[in-house]
Chains A and B, each alone.
Chain A
């Protein structure tokens, strides 16, 4: 089995991924926002999120049972229990690291209807910090996994694995412009994370200062005389910035117009992410499998029942023109997730 999931701590530090991981695990707003965004990608209340499009019924059945079934083959998506759950995991990786790499393990099997055919045995997570895409002529020519010499796992020190383009499912963060292609949205939030951390420390120091009035050290005196209201404001502003950057629906006070705009924006982005992930999965996994099975018309997974970004945009325009009330828009957008 090619490719490893084991992390390389040193490499993670070198590439600056450690602080992003720390933010996700230690900052409550980052943690809850990322979880909210990933959880809102697919509605838990729906039975069906996808449908398989393929002109040949036997192949449609094969792809459906393999990839989008309620109970896919055990372990196909690793820890995830189905495609929706798998894509949520992919999104989480995108939000934290800006990139996600998964090894696609193909295998051959015998079938009474179609004879020998290619299938996907497993889609496995690869440690992001160890992965690199090799590009050329405007397209990806392959992938390389390279562990550092200081990796904690002695067996993996200096390990190098090369992958063919169709062996890896690779996506990167594309929603913050070309400049930030493949860069985690958390990267721009580091200053706000630091401000929130400072606020937490200030609370600790102020509580300490309250219970230790005799302590006149500079650190405690500074905490004592720091304006609570101003510090709270800094913390709140940082929280809003983080939530907004990660596409969460804000819980701060807002005007009716902006509340609608903000929910629309959040839902639109979720719709774009959902479409992007499904398209990439189609292009890299479903297409590759179709090709391996020599299908002339490749199979395709399509989303079912979700509002598209343009539909959401149209709804907001109606609200702007006074053709739809705020309640109507909010209910429609919320119902989209039910």
Chain B
């Protein structure tokens, strides 16, 4: 305010003594003066008086309305929310602006009445401020009206929270302990405001309480992105007293002695509580979820599940695995709880999260990025390591390695370890961690799905049985496709047990069964294409058993599809075995078929399927055969004598007779040869 007064007063003087004489001396000014009459002092005085009265009246009205609104809000909202409303910033800025406009107009009026010069600039500024005040009042009206909608309320609080968290992320290292501690308290308060607000809305059965889950989740998601860069001693993490353990140095022993001698209990030391925010948010979410389940609030249940998606994705991306474990525990308990109530959208969201976790665990950590950073690091400061903003494990490992490098810098005053040794050592360690994490979270997904399966199977929720099985089978297939067959093999037995156990329970639900059957079929094809024999055997074994069910002559079965699938898989196994000259795959197929079917009947059924050319078969399955066909077409051609005619024949240069003469063949030719080979296998010798 004072700055504005000084500036405009200086501008008034400058205008009167410098600019005004220059303007009045211009010829255009006298012309302008002839046509335009500038307002007199009386008019300007009246105008300023009107502005002062108007602005004062607006301030009075606003204050009165605010008090009424706060009174109403105090009855409706919890006290923390009311406090937030009192401290609400937009309203405070508008009131401040109005007060400045009022005071400045009074100052301009004073200058006009008592000053020796006409305060042209000050009057102009007062007019401008008054005009803007009116505009802002209208803007504020809309804002405040929206603000009382719960969604807007949650948004406003979460914006404040996120602003504080951003401040901690961006300026945390420069801020003092007291500032950080203040920011921590503000964020903690905001989370409590949102929790209270959610509770109030939930108790009134207001569906808008679901926005609370979303905003809380978004705060946690944001926090995950930068938590690792906050110094544990900065004041952001409040201290908690924990009992001293595993301290055997002389000082600790001496400090503990009085506690023991004087029976003062256990000695404790203050340690930063590094999990306060995530625990608080997850606790709030859990409370909201329990209420939502109790009141069967499906919107809130669905939104809660959606909220976890970002949390889990960010946890994996930023390698905050501790928070991930906490969130996964909450999600698992919640999902199992809601699995038996009819909430397909929420359950679909849950399975998507499980598949996301599978995907992340299979793909593992971003090792190329780390390698890239390792090539650029000079290792001379922690700040340099932190400047790359790497995920948590990478950052911690690099900082820990810098401690090691620092030893040689201290002793030798230079880095002796060659860069390629540093890279090798770090990459080896991180690869080991990556492998462990992949294994842990991939198995974690299956454990969760397994628990879910047990629950939905015991309650016979058929749609969920289908969903769990499809999610499990899809997770296995994804691992196989991404060359992580070892991960799939660790869990495949359990999944196949589930599939066999539950397939019969889906009786009467053709579509649900078909989805599971399709996943099994695709599992066979995926493992065949990736040449993962062990996985293929497990998938094929289960597929044969469920096919037996489908080949029964009931109304809701799909025998044609089952037969076609078996034939296509057997044909691809045959082609693979012939091309790669590894008989194991096809032998497995033949053994299984012989074990569970009457093979002469089965081959006849296959023959019937192959009597006429079916273009749909090619359209549906060509992409599975395509790779081997392309490789075959790349083989060189050689001349070969055919035994009966002794006329040289041009064939592919390959040891297999079938491949040699497979020029321009398709799926049906493979299938025919496969059927012939099956017949030969069971022919008595």
What is the interface of chain A, defined by CB distance below 8 A to chain B? 203, 207, 229, 237, 240-241, 244, 250, 252-258, 261-262
- Give me 12 other A-B pairs in contact (C-beta within 8 A), A244-B410, A254-B404 excluded: A203-B251, A240-B410, A240-B411, A241-B410, A241-B411, A253-B404, A254-B408, A255-B404, A255-B417, A257-B417, A257-B421, A261-B417
Q: How far is the CA of A203 from the CA of B254 in the complex (A)?
A: 13
CB closest residue in chain A, given B254: A207
A258 and B417 contacting across the interface, CB-CB below 8 Å: yes
A250 and B422 contacting across the interface, CB-CB below 8 Å: no
- Encoded as 1 (CB less than 8 Å from any A CB) or 0, chain B from 241 to 261 comes to 000000000010001000000
CB closest residue in chain B, given A239: B410
Residues of B within 8 A of A252 (CB): 407
- Encoded as 1 (CB less than 8 Å from any A CB) or 0, chain B from 393 to 407 comes to 000000011011101
Residues of A within 8 A of B408 (CB): 254-255, 258
Q: How far is the CA of A244 from the CA of B416 in the complex (A)?
A: 15
Residues of B within 8 A of A258 (CB): 404, 407-408, 416-417
Residues of A within 8 A of B405 (CB): 255
The A contact surface, by secondary structure, is: helix
A250 and B417 contacting across the interface, CB-CB below 8 Å: no
User: Which of these, A229, A240, A253, A255, contacts B425 with CB under 8 Å?
Assistant: A255
User: Which of these, B251, B255, B411, B421, contacts A255 with CB under 8 Å?
Assistant: B421
What is the interface of chain B, defined by CB distance below 8 A to chain A? 233, 251, 255, 400-401, 403-405, 407-408, 410-411, 416-418, 421-422, 425
A237 and B410 contacting across the interface, CB-CB below 8 Å: yes
B407 and A207 contacting across the interface, CB-CB below 8 Å: no
User: Which of these, A229, A241, A255, contacts B422 with CB under 8 Å?
Assistant: A255
Residues of B within 8 A of A253 (CB): 400, 403-404, 407
Q: How far is the CA of A258 from the CA of B408 in the complex (A)?
A: 7
Closest 7 A-B residue pairs measured CB to CB? A244-B411, A257-B417, A255-B417, A253-B404, A252-B407, A257-B421, A258-B408
From B233, B400, B411, B425, name the one whose CB has the most chain A CB atoms within 10 angstroms.
Answer: B411
Q: How far is the CA of A252 from the CA of B418 in the complex (A)?
A: 19
Distance of B559 from chain A, by nearest CB (Å) = 62
Q: How far is the CA of A207 from the CA of B253 in the complex (A)?
A: 13
Residues of A within 8 A of B407 (CB): 240, 250, 252-254, 258
B416 and A257 contacting across the interface, CB-CB below 8 Å: yes
26 A-B pairs with C-beta separation under 8 A: A207-B251, A207-B255, A237-B410, A240-B410, A241-B410, A241-B411, A250-B407, A252-B407, A253-B400, A253-B403, A253-B407, A254-B407, A254-B408, A255-B401, A255-B404, A255-B405, A256-B421, A257-B416, A257-B421, A257-B422, A257-B425, A258-B404, A258-B416, A261-B416, A261-B417, A262-B411
Q: How far is the CA of A255 from the CA of B416 in the complex (A)?
A: 10
CB closest residue in chain B, given A238: B410
Distance of A153 from chain B, by nearest CB (Å) = 38
Residues of B within 8 A of A257 (CB): 416-418, 421-422, 425
Q: How far is the CA of A244 from the CA of B412 in the complex (A)?
A: 9
Residues of B within 8 A of A255 (CB): 401, 404-405, 408, 417, 421-422, 425
Q: How far is the CA of A258 from the CA of B418 in the complex (A)?
A: 9
CB closest residue in chain A, given B411: A244
Residues of A within 8 A of B400 (CB): 253
From B251, B401, B407, name the one whose CB has the most chain A CB atoms within 10 angstroms.
Answer: B407
From A244, A250, A253, A255, name the one whose CB has the most chain B CB atoms within 10 angstroms.
Answer: A255
User: Which of these, A207, A229, A237, A240, contacts B233 with CB under 8 Å?
Assistant: A229
Residues of B within 8 A of A250 (CB): 407, 411
Residues of B within 8 A of A254 (CB): 404, 407-408
CB closest residue in chain B, given A227: B233
Q: How far is the CA of A256 from the CA of B410 in the complex (A)?
A: 16
CB closest residue in chain A, given B424: A256
Q: How far is the CA of A241 from the CA of B416 in the complex (A)?
A: 16
Residues of A within 8 A of B425 (CB): 255-257
Residues of B within 8 A of A262 (CB): 411
CB closest residue in chain A, given B255: A207
Residues of A within 8 A of B410 (CB): 237, 240-241, 244
CB closest residue in chain A, given B408: A258
Distance of A246 from chain B, by nearest CB (Å) = 12
Q: How far is the CA of A123 from the CA of B400 in the complex (A)?
A: 51
Residues of B within 8 A of A261 (CB): 416-417
Q: How far is the CA of A241 from the CA of B251 in the complex (A)?
A: 24
Residues of B within 8 A of A240 (CB): 407, 410-411
Residues of B within 8 A of A256 (CB): 421, 425
Distance of B11 from chain A, by nearest CB (Å) = 49
Distance of A269 from chain B, by nearest CB (Å) = 13
Distance of A273 from chain B, by nearest CB (Å) = 19
Residues of A within 8 A of B403 (CB): 253
Distance of B431 from chain A, by nearest CB (Å) = 15
Distance of B409 from chain A, by nearest CB (Å) = 10
Q: How far is the CA of A250 from the CA of B416 in the complex (A)?
A: 15
From A203, A229, A253, name the one whose CB has the most chain B CB atoms within 10 angstroms.
Answer: A253
Q: How far is the CA of A256 from the CA of B427 in the complex (A)?
A: 13
CB closest residue in chain A, given B422: A255
Residues of A within 8 A of B416 (CB): 257-258, 261
Residues of B within 8 A of A229 (CB): 233
Q: How far is the CA of A273 from the CA of B431 in the complex (A)?
A: 43
Q: How far is the CA of A256 from the CA of B405 in the complex (A)?
A: 10
Residues of A within 8 A of B411 (CB): 240-241, 244, 250, 262
CB closest residue in chain B, given A320: B418
CB closest residue in chain A, given B426: A255
CB closest residue in chain B, given A229: B233
Q: How far is the CA of A257 from the CA of B405 in the complex (A)?
A: 10
CB closest residue in chain A, given B400: A253
Distance of A180 from chain B, by nearest CB (Å) = 17
Q: How far is the CA of A262 from the CA of B233 in the complex (A)?
A: 34
Residues of A within 8 A of B404 (CB): 253-255, 258
Q: How far is the CA of A336 from the CA of B315 in the complex (A)?
A: 50
CB closest residue in chain B, given A250: B407
Distance of B568 from chain A, by nearest CB (Å) = 51
Q: How far is the CA of A256 from the CA of B428 in the complex (A)?
A: 12
Q: How far is the CA of A325 from the CA of B408 in the complex (A)?
A: 21
Distance of B164 from chain A, by nearest CB (Å) = 26
From A207, A240, A254, name the one whose CB has the most chain B CB atoms within 10 angstroms.
Answer: A254
CB closest residue in chain A, given B418: A257
Distance of A197 from chain B, by nearest CB (Å) = 16
Q: How far is the CA of A244 from the CA of B255 in the complex (A)?
A: 32
Q: How far is the CA of A181 from the CA of B384 in the complex (A)?
A: 41
Residues of A within 8 A of B401 (CB): 255
Q: How far is the CA of A200 from the CA of B411 in the complex (A)?
A: 22
